[in-house]
Amino acid sequence: MAGYTVHNKIAEIAGIPSAISEEINRFMEDTNPPKDFEDHNTENKIFVCGHLNVSIRTLMGSEKLQERGKKECVQKEDLKWLLATRKEYIRPYYLHLAVDNICENKDRIKSGKVTIENCVNSWGKNRAVVVPGTEPYLRDVLEFLRNNVEKIRPIIFS
Q: Which residue has better confidence, 93 or 58?
A: 93
Q: Give this prediction's pTM.
A: 0.90
Supply the DSSP string of the chain, one letter for each residue.
Answer: ---HHHHHHHHHHTT--HHHHHHHHHHHHTSS--HHHHHHHHHSEEE-TTS-EEEHHHHHTTS-GGGGGG-HHHHHHHHHHHHHH-GGGHHHHHHHHHHHHHHHTHHHHHTTSS-HHHHHHHIIIII----TT-HHHHHHHHHHHHHTHHHHHHHHT-
The residue-averaged pLDDT of 72-80 equals 89
Mean pLDDT of the chain: 89
Band (pLDDT 50/70/90 cuts) for residue 91 is: very high
Instruction: Quote the pLDDT of residue 32.
Output: 85
Q: Where are the domains of the chain?
A: 4-156
Band (pLDDT 50/70/90 cuts) for residue 62 is: very low
**Looking at the predicted structure, is the pLDDT value of residue 6 above 60?**
yes
Instruction: Quote the pLDDT of residue 57.
Output: 74
Query: pLDDT for 105-132, tens place per residue?
Result: 999 999 999 999 999 999 999 999 999 9
**Looking at the predicted structure, is the pLDDT value of residue 151 above 60?**
yes
